């Protein structure tokens, strides 16, 4: 009997191109590029790949033999030229980029790198990039060291997700911002003045997810009601911020973090007589996170919880992060037309006092533990007690008992 040896079949290369692209999406860019040498099929898949992510910090640290003197600048420029050719190839083929990420070290005093980055970004915009991420060193809040975002980004109609880290936002005189399809914006350690921030928010009518983290330069943040699609807002440690104006009535999740909140806690504690003539500003928020470095002793946790429940009367969860970290989960009664309050006329609730049925609470106490290093003193928060999660039927004095700790609550309070 003749024995025939059948040639091995490369079944992976026979897969549709979109499946090959899905496989490539799990690999770093260096390995993705290497697959182009496997076969003609993989070469074509690489040339049409729509996700380009270049982390030059990782590339340089992982190839120290290539990127060190005396060949550092020469090899680095070859790498930059290769990246530009990759982007140009997509642009000429009119391939839409799903995502373009560029992470580079500090660019101060290196104008040639700045101009190179500007070209990369413009090529990505020419390929109608949807998700654009730019991260630049250093880590400090030094405006002069920040990379200035190219002006065409401010009017890119293709961008749906924009993530900027350690950049500077500045407009040319008379310039405007129009990002009509932007849905998610994340700014981390970004410098921008009040004019730019105002124009940025006005130019993003479809924004759904908004994050300002460790930003500086602007004093006012105004989120107005024309942002009808805004569902999530995170504001964390804005160095120069003095005022937040929030009128996003469809907001579902709000996070406020920062050392400056205690000095303005009185703005949260709305007097009862004012509550009777005003409507709660965040009626649709379900999740609220409030971070306070040092809670003002003149305000108790109970007062703060009460204030948050008036501001967001439909809360399902509330996190208060201070020296006493508290987690609250709320459940409500089915609304009824009976009762002494008119709150039942609004669904699901407009007055937590009459509609709340149960609160689930967990608290963790923290102590400040200083740890010493050679150059600096590092202050850390260390948990000193972790109370078990308890469920309680709502009673008039429940918030007063929070102050004394869950373990001190009367047994009849627990379900």
d(CA 104, CA 179): 25
Q: pLDDT at residue 380 above 60?
A: no
Q: Of 198, 230, 251, which residue sits at a domain end?
A: 251
Asked if residue 332 belongs to a domain, the reply is yes
Q: 331 — phi, psi (to 5°)?
A: -130, 150
Q: pTM here?
A: 0.75
Q: Give dist(CA 45, CA 55) in Å, integer.
A: 21
C-beta of residue 327 within 8 angstroms of C-beta of residue 362 = yes
Residues 238 and 263 in one domain: no
Q: Are residues 223 and 261 in the same domain?
A: no
**Of residues 256 and 169, more confidently modeled:** 169
pLDDT at 98 over 50: yes
One domain, residues 108 and 241: yes
Q: What is the pLDDT of residue 108?
A: 67
Reported as a single tens digit per residue, the pLDDT across 309-340 is 888 888 889 988 876 778 888 887 765 455 44
Is position 85 within any domain?
Answer: no
Q: Are residues 204 and 294 in the same domain?
A: no
Considering Cα of 395, then 397, then 403, then 409, what sign does the dihedral take?
A: negative
pLDDT over 90 percentage in the chain: 31
Q: Is residue 210 part of a domain?
A: yes
Domain end among 193, 226, 251: 251
Q: Quick one: 144 and 131 in the same domain?
A: yes
Distance CA 377, CA 382 (A): 15
Contact 28, 37 (CB under 8 A): no
Regarding whether 278 and 392 lie in a shared domain, the answer is yes
Same domain, 204 and 308: no
Q: Please check whether residues 264 and 228 belong to one and the same domain.
A: no
**167 plus 292 within the same structural domain:** no
> Is there a single domain that holds both residue 225 and residue 273?
no
Specify if 56 maps to a domain: no
In DSSP notation, 149-164 reads PPGGGGG-TT-SEEEE
> In which domain, by residue range, is 210 found?
100-251
- Asked, for residue 60, whether it belongs to a domain, the answer is no
Number of domains in the chain: 2
The strand pairing partners of 287, in sequence order, are 253, 317
Q: Could you check whether the bond before residue 412 is cis, i.e. omega within 30 degrees of 0?
A: no
In a domain, 40, yes or no: no
Instruction: Provide the token pair at 181.
Output: 């399809």
d(CA 401, CA 392): 11
Q: Are residues 270 and 383 in the same domain?
A: yes
- The verdict on 191 and 284 lying in the same domain is no
Residue 371 half-sphere exposure toward CB, CA atoms < 13 A: 5
User: Could you tell me how far CA 142 lies from the centroid of its own chain?
Assistant: 21
Cα separation, 192 vs 153, whole angstroms: 15
Name the domain boundary from 215, 236, 251. Answer: 251
Phi-psi sector, 176: left (phi>0), alpha (psi -120 to 50), beta:
beta
pLDDT per position as a tens digit, 110-151: 788 899 999 999 999 999 999 999 999 865 556 666 799 999
């Amino acid at each position: 009997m003749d024995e025939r040896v059948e040639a091995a079949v490369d079944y992976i290369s026979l897969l549709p191109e979109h499946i090959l692209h899905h496989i490539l999406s799990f690999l770093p860019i260096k390995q993705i590029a290497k697959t182009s040498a496997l076969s003609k099929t993989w070469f074509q898949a690489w040339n049409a790949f729509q996700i380009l992510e270049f982390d030059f910090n990782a590339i340089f640290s992982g190839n120290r033999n290539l990127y060190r003197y005396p060949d550092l600048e020469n090899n680095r420029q070859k790498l930059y030229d290769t990246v530009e050719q990759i982007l140009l190839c997509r642009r000429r083929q009119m391939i839409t980029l799903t995502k373009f990420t560029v992470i580079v070290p500090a660019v101060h005093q290196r104008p040639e790198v700045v101009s190179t980055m500007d070209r990369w970004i413009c090529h990505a915009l020419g390929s109608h990039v949807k998700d654009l991420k730019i991260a630049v060193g250093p880590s400090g809040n030094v405006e002069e060291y920040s990379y200035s975002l190219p002006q065409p980004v401010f009017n890119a109609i293709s961008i749906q997700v924009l993530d900027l880290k350690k950049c500077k936002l500045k407009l040319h005189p008379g310039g405007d911002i129009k990002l009509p399809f932007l849905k998610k914006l994340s700014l981390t350690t970004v410098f921008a003045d009040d004019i730019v921030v105002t124009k940025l928010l006005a130019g993003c009518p479809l924004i759904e997810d908004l994050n300002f983290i460790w930003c500086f330069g602007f004093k006012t943040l105004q989120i107005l009601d024309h942002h009808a699609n805004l569902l999530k807002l995170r504001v964390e440690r804005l160095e120069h911020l003095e005022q937040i104006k929030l009128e996003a009535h469809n907001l579902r999740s709000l996070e406020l973090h920062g050392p400056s909140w205690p000095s303005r806690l009185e703005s949260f504690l709305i007097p009862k007589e004012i509550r009777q003539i005003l409507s709660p500003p965040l009626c649709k928020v379900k999740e609220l996170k409030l971070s306070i470095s040092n809670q003002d002793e003149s305000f108790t946790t109970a007062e703060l919880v009460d204030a948050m429940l008036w501001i967001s009367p439909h809360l399902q969860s509330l996190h208060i992060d201070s020296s006493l970290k508290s987690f609250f989960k709320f459940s409500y009664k089915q609304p009824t037309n009976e009762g002494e309050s008119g709150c039942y006329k609004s669904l699901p609730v407009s007055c937590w006092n009459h509609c709340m049925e149960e609160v689930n609470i967990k608290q963790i106490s923290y102590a400040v533990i200083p740890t010493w290093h050679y150059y600096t003193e590092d202050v850390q928060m260390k948990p000193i007690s972790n109370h078990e999660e308890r469920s309680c039927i709502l009673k008039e004095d429940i918030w007063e008992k929070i102050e004394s700790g869950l373990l001190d609550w009367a047994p009849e309070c627990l379900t």
